[in-house]
Structure 1
Amino acid sequence: MAHATKEGTFGYLKKFGNYSKDFYRFNGELFFPSLGIGTYKAEPYKEDNYIINYAEALKMALRRGINLIDTAINYRYQMSEREIAEALNEMFDEGELKREEVIIASKGGFIPLDFPFPDNPYGWIQENVIKAGLASADEVIIDQHCMTPAYLRWSCEQSLKNLELETIDIYYLHNPETQLGYIDHETFYARIEVAFELFETLRAEGKIVSYGIASWNGFLYEEDHTEYISLSKVVKIAQKVGGENHGFKYLQSPFNMAKPHAYGYANQQCDDGYYYPLMHACARFGLSMLGSSPLLQKNLFQRPFSAKIGELMQTSELNDVASALQFARSAGAITAIFGAVDPAHVIDNMILGYVPIATDEAMNTLMGESYAV
């Protein structure tokens, strides 16, 4: 198969029978690990992007029970996707892994440029986006974000080339709220609609299986915030363009100890007229939520955690990173996606495979008291 399947992902998890029974979750289509691995690197213009390579960490993750890889075309100027291809092809060739066992997610929306960083990034945009007819100048927001169908098609097809795959399992519209403040909400949702129409076409062509939105703050803000996105409106758009079998099935948003809003802040109105936290709203709309930034890009660790956190998370004998990951994977997200370049960090994190998730009581205690960072 050219994409992840229920049978393939189930076969994969059976290799890890020693893990806690709640390490894997089924959303009706695929079996997900409760920890996924991502390939985002902050400040991509830094010199370390010329020397790091995610391939070894990715291979370690796949060998340790993580069969979800998350990336985006703009991560490190397309290099993250290319290193995923490097890791996957080696394991496919050696017979260690089958394509149907692994879930690959990528994103389109940001202008990726190309590696190494071009001498004139604005010239790159002009040549590769504007002159190429993928978008007009006013459709590229602050020289970094674009949601035209032509651009998103190019982005998806370029990701497929980078990944050396026939099909991407989950394709996200990446941080669309970036455009809010530069366009009004009516124009914004109209752009979401034409993007989803393109995604449905890409599904029909076999280039993606499902799609979603990966957002930073858009679904977490208060309703009157400029960058607020209504999940209800987005779901209605998906139903309009794709019918009851539409491909909008996933939403990615941050969830961590310092940013727990998806679990505790009721800001998304559902079909019953009541407001719910994002995780609950996703469940009501039949979407799988994936939690991003469980370590808040390591900003959670400015000081040691309270001992009470380890007690509640059942991680007292581990470290603060394990406690943070345990928190992130123990709420309503189907997985929590962490980044790792060093294979040793993957090994360290995967000790959680043997640890049951935290109880609802423990999560509510941690959320309701002052133990969070």
Structure 2
Amino acid sequence: MSAMLARHWTALRTAPGCRGPRLIPAFSVWRARTIRLQSTIAGQSATAEGTAAFLARHADLPRSTLAKRDWTLSKLGFGAYRVHSQAPEHREALLQALNSGVNVIDTSSHFGYGASETFIGETLQEVFKRGEMRRDQVVLVSKAGFIPTTTPEFPQEVLGKVPTYAKINDLSYHSIHPKFLESQITGSLERLRVSKLDIFMLNNPERMLGARNTSYGKVRLLQEIAEAFAYLDHEVQQGRIGGYGICSNAMHIPTTEDYLSLKALLKTANDFGWNKDNFIALQAPLNLFERDLVTDAPAGKALAHEAKENGIFVFTNRPLNAIARGQIITLENKGHLTRQVDDESLANKFNWSEILSENLAQLSTNYFAAKHFLDRQVLPAIDNDLRLLEESANQSTESDDVATVMKWIPTYREEAKALTQEIAAFCQLDSDKRNDELNLVLGLICPDFVSDVGPKKVAVPIGSPLSTKSIQYSVAHEDVGCVLVGMRQPAYVTDAVAAAQASTRLGKKELGLIAQCPLLLGE
């Protein structure tokens, strides 16, 4: 079998204007036919007719058009970062999203080491077989770039299959080499149980600029992206993908060290011979705090605007997890009716611990940092000290002292664990208070924001008013094609759909007012 597969590989190909040879693995015709036979889905991929017909049944959900393929996409997409088949609520959430008119699903080969794609494939098979939706009505997006590992030490046999890669750290490696991409596409197709990905993206290639095992400058990175695009043209021709793009955390911020210019990338098409018609989409973060993607700067147009001018569809991610002011800010609040926390009783629990009490104010400013510090540093340090104490006690000749110490150790360990949990709860409470304030101020600045109270109250109960506002804000931008939201629970789907439906209330005037909110500007 390997010999037959080898015959379908081309050796080296030099494109016009290329500065060096590129390995272009022509994927196996036999493998493609095998996947097609395994697929029980009618229709191979998204089509203009199928996607338009599906969204026509859901007129209340905003939609957009992917220009280079004429697909109709819901402006709300199902982000599948942490979903898997073992959680029934994940399946319920995906089914609810599809029934609500969402026809975009975004995943990646490394999400859950393939568990996300497997879950999507299983769920969609059920939906297609029941006739509730056809394959040509849904747009499937997957990505590759991260080299996943499930072991504490990175297995060398995995790296041996990747001709070139960037070592970010001991447990993180990255590659966009054609041979690696070919294997990742094959795995994605098998797990998703389809014969074609509608969109395949290079996942955060800018990470390779931080390589420790080799020198990666932007010139080299742009060249490797261009070579990857040239290979992906081959995958488009063979029918395994409908088009390609880039998912990046840096392309929208010109001031960052790992910034990748869309204009510079597009210029490589002339030197490396890749087809701009197949570069159909990009993906970048957008939320209430991180607005660079849609904000024009004196130095140039916003990435979303520039992409749209070049016919490139814009996906956004992280609508509810902002990185701002050196912190991770979760844009969630539970609403006034569901909050039942007595902060004074929590604070009183910390009075006996002088060190933690003195640092509590600083800890509470960043819930994620505090929880990481407590879980990864404080508790392990306590456990280590207790082990040393136990070893010392075992060497003692005083039996009464040993018995006392041995009885005290588990008590201390449990109390320390309980304390860190209380501190984390206190930090979460502080974060909730700030988000409640932000939610209130945004509602006052812009009455057209979706709300669970007042004249703009939506018909369905909202679990997190602030989350719906952030999603509504992202969907409302005309240069944004689709906002990808992690919707692992049916309640999250309800919030997201309500936000998307209300997005038409926000025009340029309202979006401008929101961007000037003092709490978002750090004033």
Same fold (TM over 0.5): yes
- Range moving further from structure 2, 75-84 or 141-150: 141-150
SS of equivalent to 1:73: coil
Q: 1:174 to 1:220 in 2, by over 3 A?
A: same
Q: 1:9 to 1:188 in 2, by over 3 A?
A: same
List alignment gaps of at least 5 residues for structure 2: 1-42, 323-328, 333-430, 452-456, 459-464
> How do residues 255-270 of structure 1 correspond to structure 2 at under 5 angstroms?
255-266=286-297
1:26 equivalent in structure 2: 65
1:334 equivalent in structure 2: 481
More helix by share: 2
List alignment gaps of at least 5 residues for structure 1: 42-47, 268-273
Q: 1:241 to 1:200 in 2, by over 3 A?
A: farther
> 1:135 is aligned with what amino acid?
P
1:178 equivalent in structure 2: 207
SS of equivalent to 1:144: strand
Q: 1:119 to 1:192 in 2, by over 3 A?
A: closer
Q: Give the CA deviation at 1:307.
A: 3.1
> How do residues 212-227 of structure 1 correspond to structure 2 at under 5 angstroms?
212-216=245-249, 218-223=250-255, 225-227=256-258
1:197 to 225, 230, 242: 230
1:129 and 2:129 matched: no
TM-score, length-normalised on structure 1? 0.86
- 1:118-163 alpha-carbon deviations (Å, 9 max, x no partner): 345512xx22331x3x324x55543421111101111111111111
Q: 1:313 to 1:244 in 2, by over 3 A?
A: farther
Q: Give the CA deviation at 1:222.
A: 2.9
Q: Rg bigger for which structure? A: 2
- Range moving further from structure 2, 353-362 or 145-154: 353-362
Q: Distance in 1 between matches of 2:440 and 2:209?
A: 41
Q: 1:367 to 1:120 in 2, by over 3 A?
A: closer
SS of equivalent to 1:209: coil
Q: Distance in 1 between matches of 2:101 and 2:233?
A: 31
SS of equivalent to 2:105: strand
Q: Distance in 2 between matches of 1:369 and 1:119?
A: 45
2:262 to 231, 234, 241: 231
SS of equivalent to 1:208: coil
Q: Give the CA deviation at 1:233.
A: 1.4
2:87 equivalent in structure 1: 52
2:514 to 357, 360, 366: 366
2:173 equivalent in structure 1: 144
> 1:199 is aligned with what amino acid?
L
- 1:90-110 alpha-carbon deviations (Å, 9 max, x no partner): 001111110000000000100
1:16 to 29, 51, 58: 58
Q: What is the percent sequence identity of the aligned residues?
A: 26
Q: Distance in 2 between matches of 1:140 and 1:152?
A: 17
2:128 touches 2:135 (CA, 8 Å); kept in 1? yes
Q: 1:336 to 1:50 in 2, by over 3 A?
A: closer
Q: Give the CA deviation at 1:64.
A: 0.9
1:251 and 2:277 matched: no
2:50 touches 2:137 (CA, 8 Å); kept in 1? yes
Q: Give the CA deviation at 1:236.
A: 2.0
- Range moving further from structure 2, 340-349 or 170-179: 340-349
RMSD: 2.3
2:47 equivalent in structure 1: 5
TM-score, length-normalised on structure 2? 0.62
> 2:141 is aligned with what amino acid?
A
1:351 and 2:498 matched: yes
Q: Distance in 1 between matches of 2:280 and 2:316?
A: 14
Q: Aligned residues, how many?
A: 347
1:74 touches 1:111 (CA, 8 Å); kept in 2? yes
Q: Distance in 2 between matches of 1:337 and 1:32?
A: 12
2:230 touches 2:275 (CA, 8 Å); kept in 1? no
